[in-house]
Amino acid sequence: MSELWKAGLGELALHVESGDVSCREIVSAALARIERHDGSIGAFLRVRGESALAEAKTADEARSAGRARSRLHGLPIAVKDILASPEFETTCGSRILAGFRAPYEATVLRRLREAGLIVLGSTNMDEFAMGGSTENSAWQKTQNPWDLARVPGGSSGGSAAAVAARLVPAALGTDTGGSIRQPAALCGVTGLKPTYGRVSRYGLVAFASSLDQIGPITRSCSDAALLLGVIAGHDAHDATSYPEPAPNWLASLSGSADGLRIGVPRGFFDGEGADPETMARAREALRSFEGLGAKTVEVELPNSAYGIATYYLICTAEASSNLSRYDGVKFGFRAVSQTLDEMYEKTRSEGFGAEVKRRILLGTYVLSAGYYDAYYRKAQQARTLIRRDFERAFESCDLIATPTTPGPAWRLGELVDDPLQMYLADVYTVTANLAGLPALSIPCGFNGAGLPIGLQLIGRPLDEATVLRAGDAFQRQTHFHERMPEGFAS
Amino acid sequence: MNITRETVLYVARLARLRLTAEEVPRMQRDLDAILDYVATLRALDTTGVPPTTHVLEIATPLRPDEVRGVLPVAEVVRNAPQHDESAMIVPKVLE
């Protein structure tokens, strides 16, 4: 089979099962794609060329001896630079973690390894996952494969760009307020944030612990279902990990959306200041779902108007606490200094970038004496109201649809000096994190300039199955997710 | 501005950040804009609403208090910018 790089995980699995291609050929093809194309998009921070090829050889041997560890044994994947591994450096896009090699392995990486997936390298991201454009990386910029003058979204911008440019069939990202779904939408790929607790965070560098989740970025919903099946499940190392075993999501993909009730939140598809083309494509996707037998019902999420304010209070407060561990003592970068106090201050001041400092300052302020009740406690109360809105809405529907973003990818540099505008781009995604709900972004069309647009599907707690089933049914009838960016189609 | 220069410097001190002369006014402006935006929350009536502590109803997991495998100390201290075989080394605290 030629052009192996065009295939997703499920298709590649069929090929290696039938024996017409080897894992070594697949991994070589992916490495060749990275070599040829990553120079123009900057998705990867590091690539494990030789060790990946050696692992592919071992996988071929295991498979021919009838010892395949899973259907995905020997297939390549990329991971965001935020997961602890003794095999390679983890910097979280930050100078302060330069050179850090963890003494232990993140649970998701262990699960990938046990299923036989081969990590080809780690992908660029906004520093500590703070940002929506990947421009906050301390190391490099990442370009959107659909238009190299534009951002790929963020914070998992490297993972989304790598999948969109067909460098790898799949990647892992993380999502605290939209960091899987937003770059997936802006790069025209599929991204799933699972339910809070569904995937273990052991070994995930913490940003905002009550919101962070790890999830797949893939070419299709069926690949997302396959990959989620690998990484999900209870883990005693993560006290927030959901205790029930993970279901077989692939089996839930019936291909039908018949009878599904899709909630359409009032006002979400004609948002003030939102891009008309983006809204139009999202509305067309709703009509496609109706054509597939789904019913749309209007729902109300009145407190979502407070989503961004609530989210930025909670995430910065948690970040200011989580990031106190970077002080030059235990790992990473240390500034030259004479005294301990000077060491802490200089290390943090030289090691963190502007956005991280901004959020630490904001979080420290809202948690400081006299402000806690007015800000943090108030935000956690607003969060309860936002969650209750969803509970009420799910009494009359099985899924909630929204545009994933208010507009398409913006130009590199366009919003770097306006943090608040950048925050407002998360308007449709943050509430699923605040409520802990599974949420998917699927490609649902393109604007006049050829930039991809995403539709978000939010499910009930732990109901990834319905979200994936609906997305898969849509993808069986549409071809948006198969379209490749020009310049990366050969 | 609601946020004064002194507040920015005070919070930076709490967070162990030393801002440059260029950073102080920029952070002051940004924090002011962001806090002004989040102040919209004041309009929301949250009387009697319990704050969220966990999004899913799961019980705190318990386990027997047993010694389990721990990472070798040499492996753990290896990442410290300055260390010996068993300890991380920092500038002297007491004279």
DSSP A20-81: SS-HHHHHHHHHHHHHHHHHHH--EEEE-HHHHHHHHHHHHHHHHTT--SSTTTT-EEEEET
User: Cβ distance A172 to A201 under 8 Å?
Assistant: no
The reply to whether residue B80 touches residue A329, judged by beta carbons under 8 angstroms, is: yes
Bridge partners (DSSP) of residue B2 are none
Q: What's the half-sphere exposure (Cβ side, CA atoms, 13 Å) at A69?
A: 20
The reply to whether A193 belongs to the active site is no
> What confidence category does residue B69 fall into, taking pLDDT thresholds of 50, 70 and 90?
confident
pLDDT of residue B95: 72
CA dihedral over A7, A9, A14, A17, signed as positive or negative: positive
Among residues A85, A133, A155, A441, the one annotated as catalytic is: A155
Q: How many CB pairs under 8 A join A and B?
A: 167
Whether the predicted pLDDT of B68 surpasses 90 = no
Residue type, A83: L
Whether A385 and B88 lie within 8 Å, measured CB to CB? no
> What pLDDT is recorded for position B59?
80
pLDDT at A448: 97
Active site residue A155: yes
Domain ranges of chain A: 4-254+440-482
Which of B8, B9, B18 should one mutate to test binding to chain A, selecting the residue with the greatest count of A CBs within 10 A?
B18
> Three-class SS of residue A213?
strand
User: In sequence order, which ranges of chain B are alpha helices (DSSP H)?
Assistant: 5-14, 23-38, 73-77
The C-alpha atoms of residue A368 and residue A222 are separated, in whole angstroms, by 46
- Give the strands of the sheet with A261-265, arranged side by side: A44-47, A118-123, A76-80, A170-175, A213-218, A190-193, A439-446, A452-459, A399-403, A261-265, A295-299
- A172, two tokens: 């892992």
Instruction: Give the pLDDT confidence score for residue A89 in this predicted structure.
Output: 97
Write the DSSP assignment of A294-346 as a string of letters.
Answer: -EEEEE--GGGGGHHHHHHHHHHHHHHHHGGG-SSSSSS-----SSHHHHHHH
What is the Cβ-side half-sphere exposure of residue A216, based on CA atoms within 13 angstroms? 27
Based on the residue annotation, tell me whether A28 is a catalytic residue of this protein. Answer: no
Q: Do A196 and B55 touch (CB under 8 A)?
A: yes
Q: Which of A179, A220, A304, A320 is catalytic?
A: A179
Q: A144 and A101 in contact (C-beta within 8 Å)?
A: no
CB contact under 8 A, B41 and A382: yes
Q: Give the nearest partner residue to A364 out of B11, B33, B88, using CB atoms.
A: B11
Provide the pLDDT for residue B62. Answer: 87
Average pLDDT over residues B6-12: 97
Across the interface, of B15, B18, B56, the residue whose CB is closest to A320 is: B15
Amino acid in the structure at residue B52: T
- Residues (pLDDT < 50) of chain A are none
The count of other CB atoms within 10 Å of the CB of residue A390 is: 25
Task: Name the active-site residue from A6, A22, A80, A137.
Answer: A80
Distance set, CA B24 to CA A7, A42, A106, A164, A313 (Å) = 50, 32, 37, 39, 21
Give the residue from A115, A455, A405 showing the smallest Cα distance to A284: A455
| B81 lies within 8 A of chain A by CB | yes
State the Cα–Cα distance between residues A291 and A343, nearest whole angstrom: 62
Q: What was the pLDDT predicted at A1?
A: 57
Cβ B38–A435 below 8 Å, yes or no?
Answer: no
ipTM (interface predicted TM): 0.96
Angle A105-A110-A114 (CA atoms, 0-180°, nearest 5)?
Answer: 150
pTM above 0.90, yes or no: yes
**Which residue in the set B40, B88, B92 is minimally distant from A329, CB to CB?**
B88
Nearest to A437 by CA among A456, A419, A459, A454: A459
Within 8 A of B56 by CB-CB distance, chain A residues are: 195-197, 242, 436, 461-462
**Own/partner long-range contacts of B83-92 (Cβ < 8 Å, ≥24 apart):** B88/A329, B88/A330, B90/A328, B90/A329, B90/A340, B90/A343, B91/A337, B91/A338, B91/A339, B91/A340, B91/A342, B91/A343, B92/A340
DSSP state of A204: B
pLDDT score at B17: 98
Residue in B closest to A419 by C-alpha: B30
- Distance between CA atoms of A101 and A331, rounded to whole angstroms? 9
Among B52, B58, B94, the strongest candidate for a mutation testing the A interface, having the largest count of A CBs within 10 A, is: B52
Kindly report whether the peptide bond that precedes residue A337 is cis, defined as omega within 30 degrees of 0. no
Write out the two tokens for A143. Answer: 């370009």
Q: Could you report the per-residue pLDDT of A47-103, keeping only the tens digit for each?
A: 999 999 999 999 999 999 999 999 999 999 999 999 999 999 999 999 999 999 999
Q: Is the pLDDT of residue B58 over 80?
A: no
Residue A76: φ, ψ to 5°: -85, 155
CA angle at A312 for the pair B23 and A316, rounded to the nearest 5°: 60
CB contact under 8 A, A327 and B35: no
Report all structural domains of chain B as residue ranges with CATH numbers, in order of start: 5-43 (1.10.20)
A4-254+440-482 CATH fold = Amidase signature (AS) enzymes (3.90.1300)
Q: Which residue has the higher pLDDT, B63 or A84?
A: A84
Residue bearing the bigger pLDDT, A153 or B69: A153
Query: Between residues 7 and 36 of chain B, which touch chain A (CB distance below 8 Å)?
Result: 7-8, 11-12, 14-20, 23, 26-27, 30-31, 33-35
A368 contacts on B by Cβ (under 8 Å): 11, 14
